[in-house]
Amino acid sequence: MIIEAATTGVSRRVDLGAFLRVRRAALRPTDVGLAENLRRHVPGLRREEVAALAGISTTWYTWIEQGREINMSAEVLEQIGEALRLRPDEIEYMKLLASDIAPLECTLEPDVPDALRALVESHTAAPAYIATPRLDILVWNDYVAKIFGYDQDGDELSRNILWRLFYDPSRRDLYVDWDGTARAAVASLRHNYAQYHGDPYFDRLIATLKCHPDFAKMWALWEIRTPGLAPFRIKHPSLGHVELTTVQASLGIAPGCYLVVFSSKKLS
């Protein structure tokens, strides 16, 4: 499976432009120290306002939003990010979209060492699983099976976190804040996709998920979330109300995979 780097680079630039337009539209002039103009006819900041705040020409900034194949230094991208009040991880996301780095390739059947599988499956202290960057669950322990209902006999989509969130009705009853949990998962997928841009497995999943109106709406927000501590609450039929916090780490011994371990706190 070979992904053409040149084609992907152009597509990434298009995504960069879309990301900037959404973030520009989300800001009010007063957010960046500008006076509010009552005759303003467009939401958010104007292109020329962002360009001025970033210290670059309006033409140059317009070309970036249009996805043109132009050279952008890290300094310019940082200036744009600061003008749009982006977080450091969002600025790094911009830099990746602007780069010509060849995308990674995803596989749905990565090589997970038997010893690592056994370690996760036998872990009894807390829920734990191994997943792909697409958020497909590959290996999990009994805790995860009990809480989330993953089945070894399930097909590809039934073991995908995003697909289950949007297409499994029981998920809306499981999560106390389904909307917040779903948005965080979509933001994680958006973050991961930048590294696998154009990958057929990613594109196939995203196309399927876009058929769901709630996913399509959240995907259009252009939110991203990098791995880290992520607390959420569930209301389980037998476990009751529980707060779970996930810790995620990439696996050098299983390239392309992530290990996720939970801590839990009983609420009721």
CATH number of the CATH domain containing 19: 1.10.260.40
Of the listed ranges 35-44, 67-76, 99-108, 252-261, the one predicted with least confidence: 35-44
How many C-beta neighbours within 10 Å does residue 19 have? Answer: 22
pLDDT at residue 1, as a whole number? 35
> Alpha helices of the chain — where are they, by DSSP H?
5-25, 47-54, 58-65, 74-83, 88-98, 114-121, 142-148, 161-167, 170-174, 178-193, 200-209, 213-219
The secondary structure of residue 254, as a DSSP letter, is S
Q: Give the largest CA-CA distance in the chain.
A: 65
Indicate if 62 and 135 belong to the same structural domain: no
Indicate if 19 and 57 belong to the same structural domain: yes
Block residue for tokens 């191994």: 130
Of the listed ranges 63-77, 78-92, 244-258, the one predicted with least confidence: 244-258
pLDDT at residue 2, as a whole number? 34
d(CA 17, CA 12) in angstroms, rounded, equals 9
**pLDDT-above-90 percentage for the chain:** 57
Mean pLDDT of 1-7: 39
Indicate if 72 and 31 belong to the same structural domain: yes
pLDDT class for 250, splitting at 50, 70, 90?
Answer: confident
pLDDT class for 215, splitting at 50, 70, 90?
Answer: very high
- Please give the tally of structural domains in the chain: 2
Given a cut of 50, whether residue 5 has pLDDT beyond it is: no
Residues 6+ apart with CB under 8 A from 139: 112, 116, 117, 120, 121, 129, 130
DSSP labels, 86-113: --HHHHHHHHHHH--PPPP---SS----
**Is residue 103 domain-resident?**
no
Indicate if 260 and 131 belong to the same structural domain: yes
**Is residue 109 domain-resident?**
no
pLDDT class for 16, splitting at 50, 70, 90?
Answer: very high
Given a cut of 80, whether residue 228 has pLDDT beyond it is: no
Mean pLDDT of 184-188: 94
- Say if CB 98 and CB 78 are below 8 A apart: no
**Is residue 107 domain-resident?**
no
Indicate if 134 and 247 belong to the same structural domain: yes
Given a cut of 80, whether residue 188 has pLDDT beyond it is: yes
pLDDT class for 110, splitting at 50, 70, 90?
Answer: confident
Given a cut of 90, whether residue 246 has pLDDT beyond it is: no
Indicate if 208 and 124 belong to the same structural domain: yes
Indicate if 51 and 127 belong to the same structural domain: no
Indicate if 18 and 81 belong to the same structural domain: yes
Indicate if 248 and 128 belong to the same structural domain: yes
pLDDT at residue 6, as a whole number? 38
Out of 50, 69, 98, pick the residue that ends a domain: 98
Could you read off the pLDDT of 127-183 as tens digits, one per residue? 899 999 999 999 999 989 988 988 877 778 999 999 999 999 999 999 999 999 999
**Is residue 203 domain-resident?**
yes
- Say if CB 79 and CB 61 are below 8 A apart: no
**Is residue 237 domain-resident?**
yes
Could you read off the pLDDT of 33-68 as tens digits, one per residue? 877 765 767 778 999 999 999 999 999 999 999 998
Given a cut of 50, whether residue 220 has pLDDT beyond it is: yes
Indicate if 121 and 22 belong to the same structural domain: no
**Is residue 200 domain-resident?**
yes
Out of 44, 64, 98, pick the residue that ends a domain: 98
pLDDT at residue 38, as a whole number? 59
d(CA 69, CA 63) in angstroms, rounded, equals 8
Q: Would you call 211 exposed, middle or buried from its count of C-beta atoms within 10 A (0-12, 13-18, 19+)?
A: exposed
The residue range of the domain holding 11 is 5-98
Out of 64, 98, 132, pick the residue that ends a domain: 98
pLDDT at residue 69, as a whole number? 84
Indicate if 40 and 14 belong to the same structural domain: yes
**Is residue 134 domain-resident?**
yes
